[in-house]
A and B are shown apart, each in its own frame.
Chain A
Amino acid sequence: EPEVTQTPSHQVTQMGQEVILRCVPISNHLYFYWYRQILGQKVEFLVSFYNNEISEKSEIFDDQFSVERPDGSNFTLKIRSTKLEDSAMYFCASSEQGTGQETQYFGPGTRLLVL
């Protein structure tokens, strides 16, 4: 069964460093998403992406965040200058058509720890 994959599974970085989290969405899906879950809190939407453009972003997704689809398979989330409060699980998701009434399928997540 097709699945979303994410690398790395864990990332430890120093405050102020740049990190890139990688995702391979399900191959025939057109819409891609990033969510995060800070320990003990809800899963929160960060950004959605379609046709090489951001479709929607939350207030969390400020100028230090960016997303990119550098090739036909990868979808990346870059955090330019990490802060302590960026420590969280980051989940990538994808959906087939982005109609809003369809399932988003999630990857296993990347645990980011900022020291």
Chain B
Amino acid sequence: DQQVKQNSPSLSVQEGRISILNCDYTNSMFDYFLWYKKYPAEGPTFLISISSIKDKNEDGRFTVFLNKSAKHLSLHIVPSQPGDSAVYFCAASGGGGSNYKLTFGKGTLLTVNP
């Protein structure tokens, strides 16, 4: 059951450049999407979210884009910093009568090189 997919297990970028993390979903009932960042041995930390009625949400260096027709969202980090190195999870809620649970992707390990 892969309703949320992050097809890139890892991504490496140079400090100061843009990081683009991608996420695809299959359940058209999802109406809220979130990005979490996770360091080893810690819990997921909320970064940014977007409702399905929007196509873009921005918070500082982080921007999330949602393309509903393609069932695709992306997280842009500009400029990338070494402290951004972590696993990034895409998550979605609202699928098929369930308003509560989050469905997660497998995560993308981002490495920002100084």
Contact = CB atoms under 8 A, between A and B. Distances in A.
Contact of B93 (A41, A43, A101, A109): A101
B99 A33 contact: no
Contacts, number: 66
A104 B102 contact: yes
Contacts of B91: 43
A31 B46 contact: no
Contact of B46 (A91, A100, A103): A103
A105 B43 CA distance: 9
B45 A45 contact: no
Nearest to B30: A100
Interface in B68-114: 89, 91, 93-94, 98-107
A43 to B, nearest CB: 4
**B interface, how many residues as a size bin?**
20 to 34
Interface string B31-71: 11010100001111110010100000000000000000000
Contacts of B42: 108-109
B23 to A, nearest CB: 13
A66 interface: no
6 contacts: A33-B101, A45-B101, A45-B103, A58-B101, A100-B31, A109-B41
Interface of A: 4, 6, 31, 33, 35, 41-45, 48, 55-56, 58, 91, 98-109, 111
Given A98-B99, A100-B98, A104-B46, 15 more contacts: A43-B44, A45-B102, A45-B103, A48-B100, A91-B43, A98-B100, A100-B31, A100-B93, A100-B100, A103-B49, A106-B36, A106-B43, A106-B44, A107-B43, A109-B42
